[in-house]
Amino acid sequence: MSTAAPLPAHRLFSPARVGAIARNTLTELTRQKVFYLLLLFGLLLIGSSVLLVRFSFQDQFQMLKDISLGAMSIFGSLLAILATAAMLPRDIEERTLYTILAKPVPRVEYVLGKFLGIAGMLACALFLMGLLFLLILFVRERGVEAEMAASLSGDAAALAAQIETLRAQVFHPNLLAAGLTIFAKTCVLAALTLFVSTFATSQIFTVFIVTTAYFIGHFQATAREYWQAMGGAAWSKAFAGFVAILFPDLQIFNLVDEIAVGVAVPLALLGKTLVLGGFYVLIYLLAAQLVFAQKEL
């Protein structure tokens, strides 16, 4: 430990450090009340769909998917906004940020690690909700199969064909596409929240701004269509473009509606949606880093 020795080498960017921060953030977030509370509500809503649904078996899967995917989307979004908004203020308040940044950790690694931790937490929550959803779907589907077998006694070939169709309909790969787009949407919201929290003066302010962005994000596509139908003037187009840059166009992640209806989602559309989601995340993280790098702690 001679003081004359040269400083040890330092890596400008280290995935190991980012990973350590991400893991730490994930552990922290999954120990928070807001995580359990929102996850619990989501699970309850998905679980209660069993009670709500009392229709013919054609409709019931439709409703199950509507309710469950809706619950995943809403509670995932709420979790993304609420958990992320509290994170940076807490690290500053509790001065854990000082101890972390006093180590040779570039701020960009902190921002990235935090985001990955949140994304991990969202993946956990959505995975658990999705698991319950699939379980319910599975039990229901088996029930309907039993009904079919009871009513269609005799013709084994016809029964097998019907069951085949039913399974293909209920467990369509679209469900995976729906899960992925919901995850992408919550990640976009989390990245936006992280960005806003780098300059917001309070947590309430962050939540307010992002919630506003959430609604604008959902309605801007509708508004754009409306303007276009009105024979959109040049300035209104420019305005719509400006809004699309500032606020994420969240409607693109609503493949959920189509999926629940049972329309096949082309792989290209899914890919495009995920790439666009990644692009939004990248932009917001970049913006977050730009502000955070200059922030006085």
Partner 1 sequence: MTPAISIRHLSKVFPVPFRRERVVAVEDLSLEVAPGQVYGLLGPNGSGKSTTMKMVLGLVPPTRGQVEVFGVDADRVESRVAVGFLPENPYFQKFLTGTETVAFFGRLAGVPKRDLRDRARELLRLVGLEEAADRRLSGYSKGMLQRIGLAQALVQEPRLLVLDEPTAGVDPAGSRDIKDLILKFKDRGITVLLCSHLLAQVQEICDRIGILHRGRLVCEGPLAELIEKRAQTELVLENAPAGLLAEIEAAVGRHEGARLLHRRHPQASLEEFFLTVTGDEKKP
Binding of partner 1 by 17 (CB under 8 A):
yes
Binding of partner 1 by 16 (CB under 8 A):
yes
Minimum Å gap between C-beta 196 and partner 1 is 18
Residue 153 and residue 63 in contact, taking contact as beta carbons nearer than 8 Å = no
Binding of partner 1 by 279 (CB under 8 A):
no
Between 228 and 294, CB nearer to partner 1 = 294
Options 102, 157, 230, 268; binder of partner 1; rule CB under 8 A: 102
**What CA–CA distances, in Å, run from 213 to 29, 33, 218, 268, 296?**
23, 25, 8, 27, 26
Options 48, 58, 99, 228; binder of partner 1; rule CB under 8 A: 99
Options 36, 98, 138, 279; binder of partner 1; rule CB under 8 A: 98
Report which of 187, 142, 179 is spatially closest to residue 259, judged by C-alpha positions: 179
Of the chain, the end-to-end C-alpha distance in Å amounts to 31
Between 15 and 271, CB nearer to partner 1 = 15
Question: In this chain, which stretch among 13-21, 72-80, 124-132, 211-219 interacts with partner 1, using CB under 8 A?
Answer: 13-21
Minimum Å gap between C-beta 88 and partner 1 is 15
Binding of partner 1 by 33 (CB under 8 A):
no
Structure tokens belonging to residue 155: 């013709």
Q: What are phi and psi of 173, to 5 degrees?
A: -60, -15
Please count the other Cβ atoms lying within 10 Å of the Cβ belonging to residue 289: 20
Question: In this chain, which stretch among 22-30, 128-136, 222-230, 272-280 interacts with partner 1, using CB under 8 A?
Answer: 22-30
Binding of partner 1 by 4 (CB under 8 A):
yes
Q: Count Cβ neighbours within 10 Å for each residue of 190-228 and write b for 16 or more, e otherwise.
A: bbbbbbbbbebeebeebbebbbebbebbbebbeebeeee
Q: Total number of residues binding partner 1 (CB under 8 A)?
A: 33
Minimum Å gap between C-beta 111 and partner 1 is 14
Options 48, 55, 95, 161; binder of partner 1; rule CB under 8 A: 95
Q: What is the C-alpha to C-alpha distance for residues 30 and 6, in angstroms, rounded to an integer?
A: 41
Q: What are phi and psi of 222, to 5 degrees?
A: -60, -45
**What CA–CA distances, in Å, run from 170 to 40, 82, 146, 260?**
25, 33, 15, 10
User: Binding pattern to partner 1, positions 104-143, x when CB under 8 A?
Assistant: xxx-------------------------------------
Binding of partner 1 by 65 (CB under 8 A):
no
Interacting residues toward partner 1 by CB under 8 A: 1-4, 7-8, 10-12, 14, 16-17, 20-21, 24, 27-28, 31, 94-96, 98-106, 201, 296-297
